[in-house]
């Protein structure tokens, strides 16, 4: 398919050694019911065949564009910023290089954005480890709106409820918020840091479509080790947020929000794993 003159959505995908998954990701995006899109794959100096796979797909569908960074950035924040800077559409959709989308994801999000006047939306997601076993839930009959759940700043401070690969956000809002912070100390939470800045800036909640429109590829991890490292990074993100507050009372909320995070994201998951 040929790239439209004025795409409605720019999809930004950071990629590093994604040869085994990037083709499936791109096919799920290029198969969207919304066709006036562009897809920017920003390669963070992959050492495998990522470039070859993406460039082959780009010859078949000119809506896909391959961008290679000159130096490895060591994390997804800078590649995402590069993609957003080169994007031409008013809306930015984010996706990781191993996740998949429901064919109607963008269509449903754009309709919800217009209906609600929202600048920032996300969706539910479903985990998978076998691509062949994915079965999308049937959508409600035509004319039935999917439920929208608002997540205000307080909700996000208690827990990051936004899956990055599900985000649809106005490009202007990302610019106003300063984009993703490429600080390597924020790797794995650089998205959370941006969400907080965007919601604080607008004063309006993020709207989540309550339907699993993103398939998240599970990877083997060490639950306790990774969660504890993640907790330290979340503490830093919360500290950055509260340092921007003028009220001393607001700053005192940081340890309370962090304790809430620890309980919900670490202890409960460890307890459930032990059952």
CATH for 167:
3.90.550.10
Per-residue model confidence (pLDDT) at position 272: 43
Q: Each residue of 135-165: pLDDT tens digit?
A: 777 787 665 678 999 999 999 998 899 999 9
The beta strands (E) that lie in the chain are given as 9-15, 37-43, 64-68, 91-94, 100-101, 120-128, 148-151, 168-170, 206-217
Residue 4 lies inside a defined structural domain of this protein: no
* Closest by Cα among 146, 237, 145 to 200: 237
* Co-location of 24 and 152 in the same domain: yes
**Cα–Cα distance for residue pair 217/96, rounded to 1 Å:** 10
Q: Are residue 159 and residue 77 in the same domain, yes or no?
A: yes
Q: What is the pLDDT of residue 275?
A: 42
Say yes or no: 270 and 158 in one domain.
Answer: no
* 137 and 241 share one domain: no
Q: Is 112 within a domain?
A: yes
pLDDT per residue as tens digits for the range 158-172: 889 999 999 999 999
In the listed set 217, 236, 260, which residue is the last one of a domain according to the structure?
217
Q: Are 198 and 177 in contact (CB under 8 A)?
A: yes
Residues 247 and 145 occupy one common structural domain: no
Residue 119 or residue 265, greater confidence: 119
Asked if residue 238 and residue 163 are part of one domain, the reply reads no
Q: Please state, in angstroms and rounded to a whole number, the distance separating the CA atoms of residues 100 and 126.
A: 10
Q: Does residue 156 share a domain with residue 66?
A: yes
3-state secondary structure of 72: coil
In a shared domain, residues 176 and 257: no
Examine the fold and report which residue of 217, 245, 264 is the final residue of a domain before the chain moves on.
Answer: 217
pLDDT score at 222:
42
For residue 23, CA distances in Å to 43, 64, 98, 167 come to 14, 11, 9, 20
Instruction: Report the SS3 class of residue 40.
Output: strand
Show which of 173, 197, 217 is a domain's final residue.
217
Whether 3 is covered by a domain: the verdict is no
- Do both 204 and 238 map to the same domain? no
Asked whether the beta carbons of 204 and 147 are under 8 A apart, the reply is: no
Rounded Cα–Cα distance for residues 101 and 212 (Å) = 9
For 126, the domain range is 9-217
Nearest to 12 by CA among 35, 45, 39: 39
From 3-17, 70-84, 97-111, the region with the lowest mean pLDDT = 3-17
Q: Is residue 248 part of a domain?
A: yes
Prediction pTM value: 0.89
Confidence of residue 119 (pLDDT cuts 50, 70, 90): very high
Burial 196-213 (b: 16+ CB within 10 A, else e): bbbbeebebbbbbbebbb
User: Quick check: helix, strand or coil at residue 16?
Assistant: coil
- 203-262 pLDDT, tens digit each: 999 999 999 999 999 876 544 447 778 888 988 898 899 888 766 555 566 666 666 666
Query: In this model, does residue 109 exceed pLDDT 60?
Result: yes
Residues 128 and 255 placed together within one structural domain of the fold: no
CA torsion 97-22-120-1 (nearest 10°) is 160
Tell me: do 229 and 101 sit in the same domain: no
Is the domain of 129 the same as that of 192?
yes
pLDDT for residue 57 is more than 70 = yes
Strands 100-101 and 206-217: antiparallel
Q: How many domains does the chain have?
A: 2
């Amino acid at each position: 398919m040929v790239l439209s003159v004025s795409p409605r959505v720019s999809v930004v995908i950071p990629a590093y050694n994604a040869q085994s998954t990037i083709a499936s990701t791109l096919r799920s995006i290029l198969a969207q019911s919304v066709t006036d899109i562009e897809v920017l794959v920003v390669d963070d100096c992959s050492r495998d065949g990522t470039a070859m796979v993406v460039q082959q797909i780009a010859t078949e569908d000119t809506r896909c564009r391959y961008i290679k960074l000159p130096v490895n950035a060591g994390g997804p924040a800078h590649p995402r910023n590069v993609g957003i800077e080169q994007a031409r559409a008013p809306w930015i959709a984010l996706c990781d290089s191993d996740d998949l989308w429901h064919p109607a994801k963008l269509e449903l999000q754009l309709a919800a954005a217009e209906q609600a006047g929202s600048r920032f939306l996300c969706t539910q997601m479903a985990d998978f480890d076998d691509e062949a076993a994915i079965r999308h839930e049937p959508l409600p009959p035509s004319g039935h709106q999917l439920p929208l759940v608002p997540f205000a700043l307080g909700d996000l401070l208690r827990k990051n409820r936004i899956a990055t690969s599900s985000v649809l956000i106005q490009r202007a809002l990302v610019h106003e918020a300063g984009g993703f912070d490429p600080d390597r100390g924020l790797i794995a939470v650089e998205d959370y840091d941006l969400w907080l800045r965007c919601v604080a800036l607008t004063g309006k909640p993020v709207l989540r479509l309550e339907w699993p429109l993103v398939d998240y590829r599970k990877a083997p991890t060490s639950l306790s080790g990774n969660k504890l490292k993640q907790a330290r990074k979340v503490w830093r993100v919360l500290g950055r947020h509260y340092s921007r507050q003028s009220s001393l009372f607001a700053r005192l909320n940081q340890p309370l929000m962090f304790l809430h995070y620890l309980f919900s994201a670490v202890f409960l998951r460890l307890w459930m794993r032990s059952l």
